[in-house]
């Protein structure tokens, strides 16, 4: 699946799962339904009818009513599909306790999985079963990195956006200058024997670190000097790992800095790895800003204006944004306004509307009619004009820069806006 498409999809799924994880019901009143592609809608509806009948045996009248109401709502949602979509259907529904004793509300959530689901599941519980969707958030591609020189070897894994150091081993191989009193030939033989032993240990540790990784996409070998090539020529790696070597890269450094250098120097090889992709996207934006080309902008108002003009090529939104777009309407006249605010300010803002007169008709009838995550609001506006939308994590230096220096909202433009 296209990485550009999934950055927004994955963010939305992650956020939806966080919401679902926070929901708790009483007894077994929360229904989770997973329908994989290939199933018939009629089969699912028939199963739900049977479960409705089974629920009639629940002793508690409140639980029985809530479960049956949830099943009815799930069945109504399922019937809206003519056939099961290519990635399947996932529906969560149930009575969620609200503020106040005995107060509850039936809530329904329909999730569009970014990848095909494999499980067919119906379950009633005190929680929603989101674990099968959480598996879709697991990074599927991992690259092993081995940085080698004659003194030490460093192992790391690049998993999506996360660069994970694994371990470092030292060689025990002496330098090329012999100790006093030793003949050159004898010293060289001893050094070669230690180097051979070192290469065997490099291979053994690589096998231990990377062979168990079922999602290993490839192996990159780096390091200064010829030692890495000498290692690669020999049969020190398991054949499955040797087949996964996708690049050998010269670096100026060893250790942790050498690993980072491998990542920096291999964007073409790792272009599908999100860690590298995000850095590349942000560096493109920073280039336009730094060179004052007029092909980049940032800040909500400027990005929103550019989106409405249809000139946004790529919209960059920080995953760290926790801001909402709030729509306020007057119940007496047609006055409408929108404001952007952080999540924690929303309750106080709603209270302030109780005593605020409408600026158009002066009636005290302003109410909040819609609250939308700013990421969704801007993403939908950008998608209307065919712009790409990139959700940038805060796990990289560039991602932190987007959030802290540019307010978490930026765009690369197709062309300069007219003055």
CB atoms within 10 A of CB 198: 23
3-class DSSP assignment, residue 71: helix
Strand partners, 144: 157, 219
| DSSP state letter for 155 | E
What is d(CA 146, CA 254) in angstroms, rounded to the nearest whole number?
10
* pTM (predicted TM-score): 0.72
What is d(CA 114, CA 43) in angstroms, rounded to the nearest whole number?
24
Do residues 164 and 260 make contact, with C-beta atoms less than 8 angstroms apart?
A: no
Quote the longest CA-to-CA distance of the chain. Answer: 101
What is d(CA 130, CA 30) in angstroms, rounded to the nearest whole number?
12
User: 3-state SS string over 225-250?
Assistant: CCHHHHHHHCCCCCHHHHCCEEEEEE
| DSSP state letter for 178 | P
Do residues 154 and 258 make contact, with C-beta atoms less than 8 angstroms apart?
A: yes
pLDDT tens track, the chain, 419 positions: 444 446 888 888 999 999 999 999 888 999 999 999 999 999 999 999 999 999 999 999 999 999 999 999 999 999 999 999 999 999 999 999 887 656 788 999 999 888 899 999 999 999 999 999 988 887 677 899 999 999 999 999 998 778 899 999 999 887 765 555 567 788 788 888 999 999 999 999 999 999 999 889 899 999 999 999 999 999 999 999 999 998 999 999 999 999 999 988 877 777 667 788 888 899 999 999 999 999 999 999 999 999 999 999 999 999 999 899 999 999 898 899 999 999 889 889 988 998 889 999 999 899 999 999 999 999 999 999 999 999 999 988 899 999 999 999 999 999 998 76
All domains of the chain in start order, with CATH? 3-137 (3.30.960.10), 142-272 (3.30.420.60), 276-419 (3.30.1330.30)
**E runs forming strands in 69-151:** 89-97, 104-111, 121-125, 142-148
Please state at what angle helix 300-309 crosses helix 374-383, rounded to 10 degrees: 20
The kind and range of the H/E element at 418 are none
Do residues 374 and 391 make contact, with C-beta atoms less than 8 angstroms apart?
A: no
């Amino acid at each position: 699946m296209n990485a550009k498409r999934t950055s927004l999809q994955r963010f939305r799924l992650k956020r939806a799962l966080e919401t679902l994880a926070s929901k708790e019901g009483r007894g077994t009143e929360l229904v989770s339904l997973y329908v994989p592609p290939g199933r018939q809608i009629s089969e699912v509806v028939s199963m739900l009818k049977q479960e409705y009948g089974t629920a009639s045996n629940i002793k508690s009248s409140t639980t029985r009513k809530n479960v049956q109401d949830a099943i009815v709502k799930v069945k109504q949602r399922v019937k809206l599909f003519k056939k099961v979509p290519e990635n399947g259907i996932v529906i969560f529904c149930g009575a969620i306790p609200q503020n106040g004793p005995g107060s509850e509300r039936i809530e329904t959530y329909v999730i569009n999985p970014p990848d095909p689901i494999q499980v067919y599941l119906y379950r009633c519980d005190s929680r929603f079963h989101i674990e099968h969707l959480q598996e879709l958030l697991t990074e599927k591609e991992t690259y092993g990195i081995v940085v080698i020189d004659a003194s030490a070897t460093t192992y790391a894994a690049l998993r999506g956006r996360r660069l994970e150091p694994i371990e470092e081993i030292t060689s025990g191989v002496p330098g090329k200058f012999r100790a006093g009193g030793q003949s050159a030939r004898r010293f060289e033989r001893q050094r070669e024997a230690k180097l051979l032993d070192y290469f065997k240990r490099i291979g053994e540790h690589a096998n231990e670190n990377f062979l168990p990784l079922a999602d290993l996409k490839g192996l990159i070998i780096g390091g200064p000097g010829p030692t890495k090539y000498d290692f690669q020529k020999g049969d020190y790696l398991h054949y499955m790992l040797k087949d996964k070597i996708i690049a050998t890269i010269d670096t100026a450094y060893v250790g942790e800095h050498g690993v980072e250098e491998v990542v920096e120097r291999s964007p073409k090889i790792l272009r599908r790895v999100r860690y590298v992709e995000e850095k590349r996207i942000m560096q493109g934006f920073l280039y336009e800003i730094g060179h004052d080309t007029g092909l980049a902008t940032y800040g909500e108002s400027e990005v929103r204006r550019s989106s409405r003009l249809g000139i946004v090529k790529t919209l960059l939104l920080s995953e760290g944004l926790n801001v909402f777009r709030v729509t306020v309407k007057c119940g007496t006249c047609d006055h409408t306004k929108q404001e952007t605010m952080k999540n924690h300010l929303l309750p106080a803002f709603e209270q302030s509307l109780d005593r605020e007169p409408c600026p158009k008709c002066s009636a005290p009838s302003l109410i909040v009619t819609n609250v939308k995550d700013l990421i969704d609001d801007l993403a939908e506006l950008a998608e209307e004009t065919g712009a790409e939308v990139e959700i940038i994590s805060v796990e990289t230096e560039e991602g932190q820069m987007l959030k802290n220096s540019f307010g978490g909202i930026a765009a690369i433009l197709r062309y300069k806006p007219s003055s």
